[in-house]
Amino acid sequence: MFAPIPDDADAGDLADARMRNLWPSDPLEASTSSKRGRNAGALAGAGNSPDSGLSAGSPAASANAAASSDSNLTVEGMDSGLARLDPLAVHPRLSSRILCIVFGLLLLAAAAGVWWLGVRTANGQNFDDEVWLRLNTSLPSWLRSLVHLLAVSSTVIAISVVFALAGIVVAAVRKRWWLLGQLVVFAGLCYGSSLLKGVLPRPYLQNINSSASNTAPSGHTLLAAAAVVVLVCAVPRAWRAACAAVGSVYTMLVALSLVAGKWHRPTDVVMSLLIVGGWALLVLACTRTSGMDEIGTRSASASIQIVGSVMITGGIMVCLYGAYLVWQIEPGLSLGASWTQSGACAATTMLVCGVSMLVFGLVLAMRQLTASPLTKLGLVGAPPAPPSK
C-alpha cells in the first residue's frame, strides 16, 4: 500500500561515491587502480540499497566488497598517491642542498687561498719555482711513466671529451633533462673560470726560472676534472663510485703531468681542482626531479658509502700531510736552501693527490644525497614483504 522509502544514509553514500568517481580530489585516488576500487564500492553500495535486487548478505555483494578492498590496497595506487604527496619526490632534502652550498663555497674559498699563497707571497713563488724545476726528476719511476702518458695536450683533450660526451649521452638516454641543463651550466662556469688566467695579476716578487706571466688556473686541469664530474653526475647509482675513483686517478695524473712537463705550477693545478669541485657542488644544490633517481629505486649504496668515505677521509689526511711538509720547509724557501727541494716536490705530490681525492669524494657523496634521498614516508615503491611463515 505504501512504497518503501530509501534510507537517507544509503542514498547519500551512493551519491557521494558517484561524485568522487567523477572528481577525484586526493592524489592517492587518482590512480587507475583506485578508480576501479571506487567503481566496485559504488556497485556494492547500490546492491545494499532497497531498490537493488542484491541483499547485504548475498554472495554477489560480498564479492563486490572484497574486490573493492583489494583494489584500494594495490601497490600501484599506493605508490602513485605517496609519490605525489611526498615533497622529496620533487627536490632533495633541504639539509642536502645546504651541505652542497656550504662545501661548494668552502672549496672556492680554498681555491682563492691557494692562489693568494702561491702567487701573492714570495715564499709561494719560490715553492712553485722549485717544484716546476725538479718535479719530473723527483717522481718515482713507476709514477713518472704514468705521468708521461698524459704529457701530450691532444691526449688529455681527447680523453676528457670522451668522458664528457659519455656523461651527456647517458643523461640524454635516461631522459634527465634538468640534469642536462645543470651540466651545461656547470660546463659554462668551468669555462668562465679558465678565463681568469688573463685577468688575475702576478706580481714580481722573486727572480724565478718559470714564466713571469700568470698561468693560474690550469685550463687542462679544469677540462679533465670537469669532464669527470659530468660523468659521475650522469651515470646511474651503480656506476658512480667506480667513475669517481677512476676519474680521481685520471685527474691527478693530468695535474702532475702538467707540472712535470713544465706547463703549469703547483698552484695552478691545485687551484683548478678546487674550482671544479666548488662549482660542481653549487650546481648539485639545484637538483630537481629529473636529476634524481626514480621513486622506488632510491636506496643507500654500499659502494658509494665505502668509496666516498675512503676518498674524503684519505684526501683530508693526505692534504694535511702535504701542508705539514710545506710548513716544515717554509723557513728555507726564502733562503733558497737546497734541502727544501725534495720536500717541495713531495708536498706537491701529496697535495695534488689529496685534493683530487677530496674533491671527487665530496662530489660522489653529495651526488648520492641529492639524487637518492630516502623519503619521509620511507622507500616508496618497495613496501616490506609479509613474512614467509
Q: Is residue 7 part of a domain?
A: no
* 143 and 43 assigned to the same domain: no
Report pLDDT digits (tens) over 35-62: 444 444 444 444 444 444 444 445 555 5
* 285 and 342 assigned to the same domain: yes
Q: Is residue 351 part of a domain?
A: yes
Q: Is residue 244 part of a domain?
A: yes
Report pLDDT digits (tens) over 150-192: 989 999 999 999 999 999 999 999 999 999 999 999 999 999 9
* 53 and 71 assigned to the same domain: yes
Looking at this protein, which amino acid is placed at residue 370? Answer: T
Query: Of 293, 279, 276, 278, which Cα lies nearest the Cα of 370?
Result: 293
pLDDT of residue 220: 96
* 208 and 289 assigned to the same domain: yes
**Residue 153: which domain range?**
93-371
Number of domains in the chain: 2
- In percent, the amount of the chain with pLDDT more than 90 equals 59
Grid cell 720536500 in the structure block, residue: 343
Of the residues 17, 50, 85, the one at which a domain ends:
85
Q: Is residue 184 part of a domain?
A: yes
Q: Burial level of 195, CB count in 10 A (0-12/13-18/19+)?
A: exposed
In this model, does residue 281 exceed pLDDT 50? yes
Least confident of 142-151, 216-225, 292-301, 357-366: 292-301
Q: Is residue 9 part of a domain?
A: no
Q: Is residue 203 part of a domain?
A: yes
* 55 and 190 assigned to the same domain: no
Of the residues 48, 64, 85, the one at which a domain ends:
85
* 31 and 66 assigned to the same domain: yes
* 76 and 114 assigned to the same domain: no
Q: Is residue 254 part of a domain?
A: yes
Report pLDDT digits (tens) over 76-127: 555 555 555 566 677 788 889 999 999 999 999 999 999 999 999 999 999 9
In this model, does residue 194 exceed pLDDT 80? yes
Mean of pLDDT values over 347-375:
92
Q: Is residue 381 part of a domain?
A: no
pLDDT tier, 381 (very low <50, low <70, confident <90, very high otherwise): very low
* 353 and 292 assigned to the same domain: yes
pLDDT of residue 206: 83
Of the residues 55, 85, 115, the one at which a domain ends:
85
Least confident of 204-218, 227-241, 355-369: 204-218
* 59 and 183 assigned to the same domain: no
- In percent, the amount of the chain with pLDDT more than 70 equals 72
Report pLDDT digits (tens) over 307-339: 999 999 999 999 999 999 999 999 999 888 888
Q: Across all residues in the chain, what is the average pLDDT? A: 81
* 151 and 46 assigned to the same domain: no
* 176 and 54 assigned to the same domain: no
In this model, does residue 380 exceed pLDDT 60? no
* 67 and 110 assigned to the same domain: no
